Amino acid sequence: MAVLTAGLGSGMAALQALTPAPAPAAYQGFKGEQQIVLPGLSGDAMEPFIAADGRQLLFNSSNAPGFDTDLFSAQRKADGSFAKPVTLAQANSKTLDGVASLDRSGVLYFISLRSYAQSLSTLYRAGNGGRGAPELVPGVSPQRPGIVQFDAEVAWDGQSLWVSEGRFSGKPYPDSARIVLARKDGDGFRAVADSDAQLARVNQGALNYAAAISRDGLELFFTRVADMVHPHPVIIRAARTSLGQAFGTPQPVAGISGHVEAPSLSADGLTLYYHKRIAGHFVLCEIRRQRR
């Protein structure tokens, strides 16, 4: 009987080891998804970023293959709605230009393919809100063929970057993608030594990208595609209690459904912006919470 009990015990342990861990509970803080109206815009709107003062919404047009993806800006009016978007003409080129973010001093950071063939780098910046001459951000790119940094967000103080780094093999989407934390280093940025440790739970699954960090650095939102056979992007939240600590177990954000990507968090942490595919087109949406 003791032998039988031991055998059953070891068998149950083996079965439990093979059983997938339960999915984490969804984060329930946000409610009331709403589509953002952008008057006069006829094409897609993707990859939003809300400035720290809440008065400027940055985004880009379609990033589908064959499109000349451009950056746009929309100003918030007194009634809370947004004015007709305008292009960021000085920052745009004849190649893909997208995924804009601003630091508190008005330096615009964005992704551009304009020089990748020569520099193996994609991360640019431009002063004066994007009206200055664009320049490559030194120190960030690993400068290896096939490794592309395709998304980035600068922290509001301009001292850190949250970069999405993908391995590409010729397909329009990466084979794998992870988020890398880089800190200001002289005139450029460099990946921090413990980036992988801080983001160990974040960088799980096939693709993890499009990071948005809270102003205090304790809350991270990003996009995850767990299974490339049946791709379904989900917006995820991860939190920690102090800077430098590893982020905890990521949770999908409840209240958001469908094909959604590219979160951006308001400075007060109460409004989350993102893009969503509706009837074959990408639009910008927002969802709010009462407290963090």
Which whole-number Å values give the CA distances from 18 to 13, 14, 159, 177, 256, in the listed order?
9, 6, 43, 26, 31
Cα angle 220-192-181, degrees, rounded to a multiple of 5: 25
In this model, does residue 164 exceed pLDDT 60? yes
For the residues 251-280, what does the mean pLDDT come to? 97
> Would you say 49 and 263 are in contact if contact means Cβ atoms under 8 Å apart?
no
The predicted structure's pLDDT at residue 290: 93
Q: In whole angstroms, what is the distance from residue 65 CA to residue 209 CA?
A: 19
Cα angle 178-273-93, degrees, rounded to a multiple of 5: 70
pLDDT bin (cut points 50, 70, 90) of residue 7 is: very low
Domain ranges of the chain: 32-288
What topology is assigned to 32-288 in CATH?
A: Neuraminidase (2.120.10)
In this model, does residue 54 exceed pLDDT 60? yes
For the residues 132-149, what does the mean pLDDT come to? 96
- Counting runs of H as helices and runs of E as strands, what totals does the chain give? 4, 20
The predicted structure's pLDDT at residue 20: 54
For the residues 206-231, what does the mean pLDDT come to? 93
pTM of full prediction above 0.75: yes
Rounded to 5 degrees, φ, ψ at 5 are -60, -40
SS3 285: strand
Q: In whole angstroms, what is the distance from residue 105 CA to residue 178 CA?
A: 28
Residue whose entry in the numeric block shows the structure tokens 């093999």? 169
